[in-house]
Structure 1
Amino acid sequence: MSAVERVPWPALPTDARGAVERHLTGPYTVREMATYNSGVAVLLEFADGARVFVKGVPEGHDQVAQLDGEERVNGFLPLSCPRLLFRLKAAGWDFLGFSGLAGEWADFGPGSTDLPAVASMLSEVGDCDVTGLRLPSLWESYRQWCDPADEVLFQGSTLLHRDPTASNFVVSEGRAHLVDWAWPSIGPAWVDAFIWAFRLVVDGGQEPHEALRWASRVSGWKSATPAALRVFSQAEARSWAQSVEEAPGDEVVVALATAAEKWASRWA
């Protein structure tokens, strides 16, 4: 998937900003948000305390597929996840607008008081009723890095976020809110917990045994098997290795690929 150039909110075409503003309630201030996946990502804050998060990419960009996925899944998510307020296209841009959140990104470090709330949020997602929701299966996303015989290990009927990083949880008043549903999938119940464990090590500097202890608090974890963890971790490592080939100068991607290879070796 090709990268999208970041554009500050004031640099957008006037007609694009105007189309968004027609969905807003009045004057606002702009906070630019860090993200890899959007050309525009801003939190618009209003005098009454209301917030709207807007993300967008140029029309026709291959990352429009991520906006499609977020739009499709939103109505099936727990109520603690931001609600989709609008989808619009204007002046060559494609936007999503969500209810904004007050809070801070989760702390994944040892002893963090955010971790119980994150585990609870992942369990809540795993319990979502996805009847009627059409999303790619996990196998569709990982088959290129697996043996065909491994398909059975990727089967399941649970809603997956697939990117439970520290910056995708906003914590407020003791509750974690899971955001940025760019890659929703359907698959085994243990997957998000396992990826979270990896991110606890990478983002939070936790020891692997502590990370897995936290993962075990997510309800879907109990269905994990050693064979599934081995195959999935190897597929993740191969996918990150491919990302390095596509973006060899990206230090973040290189570091994640190295960490993923080390994580996979633990399950070999």
Structure 2
Amino acid sequence: MDTNRPESAIRPLIREHTGPVIAIRRTEHGNSSDLTAIVECENGPFFIKAVRNRPGGRRDSLVRERMIDAALVHIAPPLLWDVDAEDWLVLGYEVVDGRSADFAPDSPDLPLVVDTLARIGRVPLPAFARDWTESRWDRFAVDGSEAELFRGDSLLYTDINPHNLLVQGRRAWAVDWAWPTKGAGFIDPALLVLQLIAAGHTPASAEKWAAQLPAWHRAVSGEINAFAAANLRMYGAFAERKPDEDWLKSMVAACEAWTGYRGITAT
């Protein structure tokens, strides 16, 4: 047995919860973990996320994901069990038999996506998340005072994209809570705007969908403008470092379309 491979290493660790394991099938997405997979087993199936149990970003991310689960009832798939062993941290979730949401214009999934984000926006910030201050956009703000516009006491999802909104029947689940944070409530709606533009919406159409979210209306134009410009700088910097990544080019184009629509110059 190759115990260096995550599948082999975690099998004995999760057996208490899974029973005999038939197969561990890796999923297509899930770069924030060492392993994301569907476990076919006697007691399952289960969706698992596993990281090596050592200090650092991946472990910290999965610890946050474990903590936030209880606040996300009927929003994210429930966490059914976890294993915190010497070498591995593993989370076991209920499997959602869904598909990636379609963000394209006129998609019937859009009301489901907006409803899911609205439900996230109504989740009170848990006490344990008080120090999870959002700071990813700070270095792309013009100065410290502009970065302060991104502060707030809302629970933020921040990882909005079609792969993380799974449609099952007439509802959507928000999955992969890899890095929930605390910040200004308009941030999640603004990130939806960027994703919709990247999916083919005009900026005006994208903002109309965001306008269905209460947090969008609580923001002032200057806050949204500052965030839009910060995203353009951020994705521009990422694209320069990774010029072969087409998705980064797509996001730069979406940011340029949005800032152009709002009459913003981001230098």
**Is this a same-fold pair by TM over 0.5?**
yes
TM-score normalized by the length of structure 2: 0.85
Q: Which residue of 2 aligns with 1:54?
A: 48
Identical positions, percent? 25
Supply the RMSD in Å over aligned alpha carbons: 2.5
TM-score normalized by the length of structure 1: 0.84
The 3-state SS of whatever aligns with 2:17 is: coil
Aligned mates of 1:260, 1:93 — CA distance in 2: 38
Q: AA paired with 1:105?
A: S
CA contact (8 A) 1:171 1:177 kept: yes
Q: Which residue of 1 aligns with 2:35?
A: 40
| C-alpha spacing 1:13/1:208, structure 2 compared with 1 (3 Å) | closer
Shift of 1:233: 1.3
Q: Which residue of 2 aligns with 1:122?
A: 117
Answer with 82-91 or 225-234: which moved more: 82-91
Residue 159 of structure 1 pairs with residue 155 of structure 2: yes
Residue 234 of structure 1 pairs with residue 224 of structure 2: no
Residues 3-82 of structure 1 aligned to structure 2 (within 5 Å): 11-12=5-6, 14-35=8-29, 36-45=31-40, 50-60=44-54, 61-82=56-77
Shift of 1:131: 3.9
Q: Which residue of 1 aligns with 2:103?
A: 108
Q: AA paired with 2:171?
A: R
Following TM superposition, the consecutive aligned residue runs of length 4 or more in structure 1 with deviations greater than 6 angstroms are none
Q: AA paired with 1:24?
A: T
Aligned mates of 1:166, 1:247 — CA distance in 2: 22
Aligned mates of 1:38, 1:15 — CA distance in 2: 15
| C-alpha spacing 1:28/1:208, structure 2 compared with 1 (3 Å) | farther
Shift of 1:25: 4.5
| C-alpha spacing 1:102/1:116, structure 2 compared with 1 (3 Å) | same
Q: Which residue of 2 aligns with 1:191?
A: 187
| C-alpha spacing 1:13/1:79, structure 2 compared with 1 (3 Å) | closer
The 3-state SS of whatever aligns with 1:133 is: helix
Q: Which residue of 2 aligns with 1:4?
A: none
Shift of 1:118: 1.0
Aligned mates of 1:64, 1:237 — CA distance in 2: 29
Answer with 179-188 or 126-135: which moved more: 126-135
Residues 199-238 of structure 1 aligned to structure 2 (within 5 Å): 199-202=195-198, 204-238=199-233
CA contact (8 A) 2:79 2:92 kept: yes
What is the aligned length?
257
Residue 180 of structure 1 pairs with residue 176 of structure 2: yes
Shift of 1:160: 0.7
Which deviations, in whole Å up to 9, do the C-alpha atoms of 1:36-61 show, x marking residues without a partner?
3222111234588x531111233335
Aligned mates of 1:25, 1:88 — CA distance in 2: 14
CA contact (8 A) 1:16 1:90 kept: no
